[in-house]
Amino acid sequence: MLGQDTAGERGPDEPIDENLLEELQLSGRTQNGAPRRGPRLRVRRTDLGLLLAALGLALVIWLVAINEENPLMTQELQSSVPVTVLGLGENLAVVEDLSDEAVRLRLRAPRSSWQGIDPTDFRATLDLTGLGPGESTVPVRVVSRDPQVTIVDVQLPQITVSLDPLLRKEVPVQADIMDGTAFGYDWQPAILEPVTATVSGPASQVQQVSRARAEVYLRNAKSQVERNETIVAVDAQNRPVAGVRVEPNLTHVLVPVEQWPGRKEVAVRVKLAGRPADGYRLNSVKVEPSTVVLLGDSDALSQVPGYVETETLSLAGAASDVRQRLSLLLPAGITSFDGNTVIASAGVTAIEDGMTITQPLVQQGLSPGLTADSALREVDVILSGPVRSLSALNQDDIFVILDLTNLIGGTHIVRPRVVLPGEFTLEGVIPETVEVVIRQQTESAEPDELALPALPLDADATPEADATPEADADAAANNGSELTATSPITNAASSTATAPLTSTLEISPAQTGGQAP
């Protein structure tokens, strides 16, 4: 070709003709006549700048469009995020209480994300790894579980922490009586179990602890107070010491309560006579005050049982409540601190099926080696229930129990507990409380006439609803015999059984129904 020949004849230093150069370019050859490798894109600097500007403009337009649809919002999180302590050395303790430490956060997030943001989405930690005793300023590290949420600011970026060696020591446990007993009574030193406690925590705090305190409120008690109380570590000035741990944190406290010499508190028992009018019944008896404090010689008071009686309150023909001031029947040489009269009230209502029965007392829960005595052997129990059931009720269906569980030696005022079959309702007990004297049992001592019988093992059992006691009663009625119920009672002061309590219910051929124990 022309281009090839011409290029081949031209010397290396010989200038090339412009027409020849144009011809070579059109033919796809270089100035030296060699074939071209391909077309070349030539980009000028001005074109590159325009391209970058276009890309930046597109990005800005995209960001503006996204922000218009779901804009970024910066605001504070409504709730605080608790701080978790990490990396505390095994033999170190934090002096400050960091359990309530928390941080407030300022966040940036898309508007759609704010609706689901919760403090649990963040974790704030205080890393104490490698720190020794002394004071250190530690940064708070906060991490978000949502990648779309940015933490802009932490309002508590760092916390100053004081570390102490961990120390343990044993201190005595003591009871602090915060109030008093009822008038005429004194409390005795408390009995505690356990008597010591272990205090652990920062050495600077533990060294301040002198004892462990249990606060006990007697609330006008007239008998021993027994309960579990919380133990608090205190210093020599009786001030609570913070930042320490007490083990165990509870102690069992028993505070004995005794009556003053020359004084004795007893229950008031109202003597009743007569029956209300036909169609009416007695449903309650109340006396104000229900107990009185007797004054006199100690020997004379020791002869007074745990109650005093009043003059007779007549219910004959009563068709409404009876309220009357009655005199106390006091022994010679004995006076009442509260006055010699009381106000007795007897509630009388239309018959709904009720009755008043006299029931012997039995004791339960007396500790081994102790005996329980009471001058009051029986109480009046006011109850109501179906007429047919009341007519078939016998003595073995009801128990009046004095619960002596955990009571120690001494004189105690106990409120009787009445166990009834499920179909009956207890309306009241006369008197409301019973005085019980608990003593140590001696092997040579003869049985005391005042010793309370113990409760049979099955006394708390409630008669089954599907029982048919009518069969036994009907059989007895057909034979013209008597239905006898017995309940063996064991004396707490002796290992031998005493004579059983026996109640007899007359059954005539016309009667139907009976109640088996």
User: pLDDT tens digits for 293-319?
Assistant: 888 888 888 888 889 999 999 999 998
Task: Supply the pLDDT for residue 62.
Answer: 66
Task: Supply the pLDDT for residue 477.
Answer: 38
Task: Supply the pLDDT for residue 443.
Answer: 62
The pair of three-digit structure tokens given for residue 499, joined into one six-digit string: 């004579």
Angstrom distance (rounded) from CA 32 to CA 11: 10
- The helix/strand/coil state of 367 is coil
Task: Supply the pLDDT for residue 89.
Answer: 86
Angstrom distance (rounded) from CA 438 to CA 481: 43
- The helix/strand/coil state of 359 is strand
- The helix/strand/coil state of 288 is strand
- The helix/strand/coil state of 167 is strand
Angstrom distance (rounded) from CA 105 to CA 157: 10
Q: Is the pLDDT of residue 515 over 50?
A: no
Q: How confident is residue 516, by pLDDT bands cut at 50, 70 and 90?
A: very low
User: pLDDT tens digits for 66-76?
Assistant: 666 667 888 88
Q: Is the pLDDT of residue 119 over 80?
A: yes
Q: For the chain, what is the total number of helices (H) and then of strands (E)?
A: 8, 36
Task: Supply the pLDDT for residue 115.
Answer: 79
Please name the residue that has the structure tokens 């009787």.
416
Task: Supply the pLDDT for residue 473.
Answer: 39
Q: Are strands 501-506 and 482-487 parallel, antiparallel or unpaired?
A: antiparallel
- The helix/strand/coil state of 2 is helix
Task: Supply the pLDDT for residue 499.
Answer: 32
Report yes or no: 85 and 128 within 8 Å, Cβ to Cβ. yes
Q: Which segment, 163-172, 346-355, 473-482, is predicted with the most confidence on average? A: 163-172
Task: Supply the pLDDT for residue 466.
Answer: 39
61-70, 149-158, 238-247, 343-352, range with the lowest pLDDT: 61-70
| Mean pLDDT of the chain, nearest integer | 79
Task: Supply the pLDDT for residue 458.
Answer: 52
Segment 23-47 shows an average pLDDT of: 57
Query: Mind listing the domains of the chain with CATH numbers?
Result: 1-36 (no CATH), 73-164 (2.170.120.30), 170-259 (2.170.120.40)
229-243, 432-446, 469-483, range with the lowest pLDDT: 469-483
Q: Which segment, 52-66, 108-122, 335-349, is predicted with the most confidence on average? A: 335-349
Model pTM? 0.49
Q: Which residue has the higher pLDDT, 44 or 221?
A: 221
User: Burial of 243 by CB count in 10 Å (0-12 exposed, 13-18 middle, 19+ buried)?
Assistant: middle
Residue 5: partners with Cβ closer than 8 Å, 6 or more residues away: none
Q: Is the pLDDT of residue 41 over 60?
A: no
The pair of three-digit structure tokens given for residue 99, joined into one six-digit string: 């359990």
User: pLDDT tens digits for 391-433?
Assistant: 788 878 899 999 999 999 899 999 999 999 888 889 999 999 9
- The letter for the amino acid at 394 is N
User: pLDDT tens digits for 373-392?
Assistant: 988 889 999 998 877 778 78
Q: How confident is residue 23, by pLDDT bands cut at 50, 70 and 90?
A: low
Report yes or no: 75 and 153 within 8 Å, Cβ to Cβ. no
Q: Which residue has the higher pLDDT, 192 or 156?
A: 192
User: pLDDT tens digits for 97-114?
Assistant: 888 889 999 998 888 788
Q: Note if the bond before 194 is cis, omega within 30 degrees.
A: yes
Segment 338-360 shows an average pLDDT of: 88
Q: How confident is residue 322, by pLDDT bands cut at 50, 70 and 90?
A: very high
User: pLDDT tens digits for 230-243?
Assistant: 999 999 999 999 98
Q: Is the pLDDT of residue 460 over 60?
A: no
Residue 83: partners with Cβ closer than 8 Å, 6 or more residues away: 98, 101, 102, 103, 124, 125, 126, 140, 159
Task: Supply the pLDDT for residue 498.
Answer: 32
